[in-house]
Amino acid sequence: MSVSIKQRLAALREQMPPVDVATAAALVEDGAWLVDIREADEIAQGTPTSARALGRGFLEMRLEAEGACADDTIMLLCASGSRSLLAADQLRGLGYTDVRSVDGGFDAWKDAGLAFETPVMLDNADRARYARQLTLAEVGEAGQTRLRDARVLIIGAGGLGSPAALYLAAAGVGHLGIVDHDVVDRSNLHRQILHRDVSVGQPKVRSAFATLSALNPAIDIEPIQARVTDDNAAELIAGYDLVIDGSDNFSARYAVNDACVAARVTLVYGAVERFSGQVGVFPAGGRPCYRCLFASAPPAGAAPSCAEAGVLGVVPGLVGTLQALEALKLIVGMPETLSAKVLTLDTKTQRWRSVQVPANPACPTCATMG
């Protein structure tokens, strides 16, 4: 004879007595987790200010991605307290030792006059566009909202900036700034995939704006036609959360690095030479920085340009894509990134290696950063 849901809930209430909302609020003050497992349309009507809105689907994966431990105190909240009991039972079966359901759910929380907020949620069009990302426990609605609210500046609309911009736009980064001073040349087209043959002779930022706007009209694209210098780098990065450096010259790289260190803005670095590439992340705290990796530019002529050395278009495409990947991971809050590391890749032999970048105590740019 099957057990009804009503009987199952009654049994669970005896096995795992729910906590009332006042107790739940007090436990949150002591560091416990409060997790709202309701659906997105319910959360749009309000959620406790202290809650993490993770939903019920793939809840255990989302908790793990958020950094929850098996012995943490975790309180689950739904609309009235039924779904949270069932979810708590599942989590206990997976090894979480202190999971509780909030009695009465959000209805009781609100009736008790406890603090809640009405978050700005994704609309139905966004949920359709980003459906495959939203399914990922590491992204979800909260991560997609962070992407929507993020402001990323891309230095260069060339071989690195092209794939980075395309993937960030496709992923839903809400505001993308694209800086470049150059015009599209036909020799660019085999690797600079933002541009089309009809764009030859146009400013790269205008071509980039057209391509990215067509890909995702829901985001803001800011074309900035300028050459990066020591004089304007700080002004260019002002107001941005993260910078992707896809520049092709050392003077721009050092100018961008120094401005990011001063403003405490995360810098995602990339470089390509023939079949080799590098990707790294210099954190917002300012240490280490690009000058810790390369204290000064090599002598003139020591590092050949793409025009001199040649490059397969797929190599900067790969590096720029990895830059976009690191940017997305940083924005949604994934713990494992290339922060303070550089990934080197030799695409001829497919040898990839990640190395830690130590902060240089004598670095002229970041040594004084706290």
Q: Which residues are catalytic?
A: 306
Please report where in the chains the tokens 């012995």 appear, as a residue: 71
344 membership: H or E segment, kind and range: strand 341-346
What Cα–Cα distance (Å) separates residue 231 from each residue in 23, 151, 155, 238, 294?
Answer: 56, 22, 15, 13, 21
Measured distance CA(283)–CA(237) in Å, rounded: 15
| Nearest Cα residue to 215 out of 178, 248, 182, 179 | 178
CA atoms within 13 A on the CB side of 47: 24
| Alpha carbons 274 and 304: distance in angstroms, whole number | 9
Separation in Å, CA 103 to CA 49, 80, 107, 201:
18, 7, 9, 66
Neighbours of 57 (CB within 10 A): 13
Joined together, the tokens standing for residue 329 give: 């991971």
Alpha carbon distance 221, 205 (integer Å) = 10
Task: Please name which of 124, 126, 106 lies closest in space to residue 53, comparing C-alpha atoms.
Answer: 106
Pull the structure tokens for residue 53.
């809105």
Q: Which residues, at least 6 apart from 230, have a Cβ–Cβ distance to it below 8 Å?
A: 251, 255, 258
Of 186, 224, 187, 228, which is closest to residue 208 (Cα–Cα)?
A: 224
Distance CA(223)–CA(205), nearest Å, equals: 5
DSSP assignment, residue 188? G
Burial environment of residue 23 by CB neighbours within 10 A (0 to 12, 13 to 18, 19 or more)? middle
Determine the straight-line distance between the first and last CA of the chain, rounded to whole angstroms. Answer: 66
